[in-house]
Copies of this chain bind each other. A is one copy, B any other.
Amino acid sequence: MTRYEQLADDIEAAVRRGVFGPGERILSVRRASQQHGVSIKTVLRAYAVLESRSVIESRPQSGYFVRARLGAPQGRDLAGAPGAPGSQGKESVSQGKPRRAGAPRQPMPANVDVSRLVLSTLRSIGAQDAVPLGSPYPDPALFPWRRINQYANAIARRHTGWNLIDDLPPGNPELIRQIARRYAENGVSVDPEEIVITVGATEAINLSLQAVARPGDTVAVESPTYYAMLHAIERLGMRAIEVSTHADTGIDLDALERVLAHQKVAACMVMPNFQNPLGFRMPDANKARLVALAEAHDLPVIENDVYQELYFGQTRPSTLKQFDTRALVLHCASFSKSLSASYRIGWALPGRYRAQVEKLKFLNTLTTPSVPQVALADYLRHDGYDRHLRRVRRFYRQQARLMRAMVERFFPAGTRTSEPQGGYVLWVELPPRVDSMRLYQAALAQGITIGPGYMFSMRNEYHHYIRLNYSYPWNAQTEAALKTLGEMAAKMA
């Protein structure tokens, strides 16, 4: 192939992949000659070939543009490059952007990869018109976007490169102060110097686990557990030991005690408040006993407390951190469930492991983006976070009741539900013959998403359980979706 044919093929491939969209200008002949290191003549020939293939058109005085409608491909494998992942050729072109999976296209393998399943479930929520019962996030409409945006807006206007230095780990000082202040107002004494800001609680949990355990180590987790815990363990090459967990009081402390007596456990990861998926509030006596147990075994405890603000009762639940006298608790939390998931602001209170966590934060992502840090600090300082929270708590409490009633009404006999004390998810046990993966796929085909039980354990123990999100306002579509789900489940049962 000649040099100009090669160049023409490269550009055509880029156009068909959507890199240059319909109507967009491509490089001038002079610049293309410079950039590709070929002569002007070669570029002119290549562009002529592309015109003849109806890929580009020249416009007098303006340059060369991608045609609104492309000619048919010339039969060569233009979209595929060596080693590149499967391109979609024409499909991309029609949208002018890379293909994004609205929903998983292939059935899940029998041996479920939890993290891939979770990512697929998340993506499916973005599909048009899907009923997002499978979402792990609250209805975005509940978030005080307008107000948060105003702050982000004002910051973006005055933001400079210096923010990078100011907001280096441990993080933006005013955000740190606001977080400490919030704990203080809730009766939890926190030293601001202990706080490390992270990219969401996800990073906080990852860093905490890495600070206390090594690859190959065993980590005790709840069962069922929030999958981010399993992800962290998987990612770091550790082994999970799943400890049975009561739907109303949390991790079985007798069982945990037996585990600790018989094997070396490097850390324990729990979610004592409004656990996802079970929704319980661990009683204070249990929290105290868990911390005492940890202290007796010198066991670091990673406390995932992202739902701390979404309680249904009168006051914020206690944290393990409050019972901790030896700084063995690494408390992790975020604003993702209460203010903004896409801002990705979380934090860790790592106790005696603070120096390691700060260092790992720096190694992992250097620093957390500045604008989101400062925007949330300003919102917390000036705005009605409490008012917002009072509103959503009331709403979730009502919705939890409604969702339970509707599941009872539409689902087959033998179905049981959790009794959430906070948060916005319901855990539903279906008759044993219903496979939640099959239900997930059948529901997806109807534009309904659910959280299959497979996501919450490595041992596939919850194959007939599902998690439902009740943060979205109840409407006819939700009701119809729940009815459909119930009918599908009844058929499978």
Chain A residues at the B interface, C-beta cutoff of 8 Å: 10-11, 13-14, 17-21, 26-27, 31, 34-37, 79, 81-88, 92, 96-100, 115-116, 118-119, 122-123, 125-126, 137-141, 143, 145, 149-150, 152-153, 156-170, 173-174, 176-177, 180-181, 184-187, 189-195, 199-200, 202-203, 206, 210, 214-215, 228, 231-232, 234-235, 237, 314-316, 324-328, 340-344, 351-352, 354-355, 359-360, 362-372, 375
Contact = CB atoms under 8 A, between A and B. Distances in A.
Given A206-B364, A210-B235, A364-B365, 13 more contacts: A34-B314, A35-B316, A81-B189, A83-B326, A84-B191, A84-B193, A87-B191, A119-B359, A145-B160, A152-B371, A202-B364, A364-B364, A371-B371
A168 B369 contact: no
Contacts of A119: 168-169, 359, 362
Contacts of A34: 314-315
Contacts of A166: 126
B189 A13 contact: yes
A228 B149 CA distance: 33
A379 to B, nearest CB: 12
A160 B140 contact: yes
A203 B36 contact: no
B365 A200 contact: yes
List the 8 shortest-distance A-B pairs measured between CB atoms, nearest first. A83-B327, A140-B161, A126-B165, A152-B156, A84-B191, A164-B342, A36-B187, A342-B370
Given A316-B35, A363-B234, A137 B164 contact: yes
Contacts of A234: 363
B362 A192 contact: no
